[in-house]
């Protein structure tokens, strides 16, 4: 593995770490998901995590089975 490949491997780990840390911000204890969108020149374009819709009630039982609001948004290009 040459030096450039080694650097890219470490960047991949870095971006996975960013996604992992983003996932920790999710208030849904059952499905904590994070994302990090990166350009070809290794610049972060966007990052985020899953959460509840703004209209969902703010209670301590959010995320409990039976209370979750089924919502799916596909942003594939």
Q: What's the number of domains the chain is made of?
A: 1
Query: Mean pLDDT over all residues of the chain?
Result: 77
Q: pLDDT of 3-25, one tens digit each?
A: 666 666 689 899 999 999 999 99
Of 22, 13, 8, nearest in space to 50 by CA: 22
For residues 23 and 63, the model is more confident at: 23
Average pLDDT of span 53-62? 61
Q: Say what the pLDDT of residue 16 is.
A: 93
Q: What is the Cβ-side half-sphere exposure of residue 20, based on CA atoms within 13 angstroms?
A: 6
For residues 47 and 68, the model is more confident at: 47
Q: Say what the pLDDT of residue 65 is.
A: 52
Cα-based distances in Å from 75 to 60, 67, 72: 30, 25, 10
Domain coverage including residue 54: 1-77
DSSP 17-48: HHHHHHHTT-S-SS---EEEEE-TTS-EEEEE
């Amino acid at each position: 593995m040459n030096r450039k490949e080694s650097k890219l491997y470490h960047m991949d780990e870095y971006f996975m770490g960013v996604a992992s840390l983003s996932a920790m911000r999710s208030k849904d204890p059952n499905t904590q998901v994070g994302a990090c969108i990166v350009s070809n020149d290794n610049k972060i374009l966007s990052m985020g995590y899953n959460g509840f819709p703004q209209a969902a009630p703010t209670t301590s039982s959010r995320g409990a089975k039976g209370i979750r609001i089924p919502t799916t948004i596909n942003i594939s290009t």
